[in-house]
Amino acid sequence: MSYVLITGAKSDIAKATAREYAKNGYDLYLAARNSSELEEFAQDITTRTQKSVKLLELDILDYKSHQAFYDNLDEKPLGVISAIGYLGEQEKAQSDFNEAQQIMDTNYTGVVSLFNIIADDFEKKQSGFMIGISSVAGDRGRKSNYLYGSAKAALTAYLSGLRNRLYDAQVHVMTVKPGFVATKMTEDMGLPEKLTAQPEEVAEDIYKAQQKGKNVLYTKWMWRWVMMVIRMIPEWKFKGMSI
């Protein structure tokens, strides 16, 4: 058997990715808080694909528990996909540090804590893949979501460094930068149709890119160019814009 570990497994992107990997023959560890809520979904995957799905309890903010979480896996995974994300409320986070901290810790600190542990194991074994779902929001800070964006920017930099470190150990590290995705997290945002991906498309892109060993994946693909343009706007101009 060959397990892939997916964290933040309750998110729509995680679920679609889980289905995609099971469809392609992988067994799954699905980790989340209150993971028993995923029982129906686990049954879905097993019925569709006859693959094994194990539900695991994981609190990404309980850093101390992470080592034990990983040690307790009977069979270590072939790869890990972090789909943990917390958008939070930008305005609240500006004045309420608890909210700001939750955004930073969920999107960044927690992922680092767990990934450090898994990276050590994969490095020793000289195999495995590690996928972090970051965001295009980390490519440039904007007033509408810069706390979320800055945490994702930190994650992007972390993944880039990790990729560099694990290159010699032949461990593949991939940074995923979704643009708009139609999920529960973005339900009320009224996203533009042409730029918005369905979670299933993101999942398919992730699987294909991972199989090909890509380093950085923008999904939908046009976000690579959209973000390039956004990054090129000079700061004196950008600071006055509302985008």
| Binding stretches for other proteins (CB under 8 A) | 23, 40-41, 43-44, 47-49, 187, 193
Structure tokens at 60: 């990404």
Distance from C-alpha of 179 to C-alpha of 181, rounded to nearest angstrom: 6
- Identify which of residues 184 and 231 has a Cβ nearer to other proteins in the complex: 184
CA distance to 134, 136, 138, 179, per residue, from 148 (Å):
10, 11, 8, 14
- Identify which of residues 23 and 142 has a Cβ nearer to other proteins in the complex: 23
Distance from C-alpha of 41 to C-alpha of 53, rounded to nearest angstrom: 9
3-state DSSP call for residue 158? helix
- The residue whose two tokens read 């996928």 is 131
- Identify which of residues 74 and 193 has a Cβ nearer to other proteins in the complex: 193
- Identify which of residues 87 and 191 has a Cβ nearer to other proteins in the complex: 191
**HEC readout, 47-102:** HHHCCCEEEEECCCCCHHHHHHHHHCCCCCCCEEEECCCCCCCHHHHHHCHHHHHH
- Identify which of residues 3 and 41 has a Cβ nearer to other proteins in the complex: 41
Distance from C-alpha of 183 to C-alpha of 173, rounded to nearest angstrom: 25
Least spacing, CB of residue 184 vs other proteins, in Å: 9
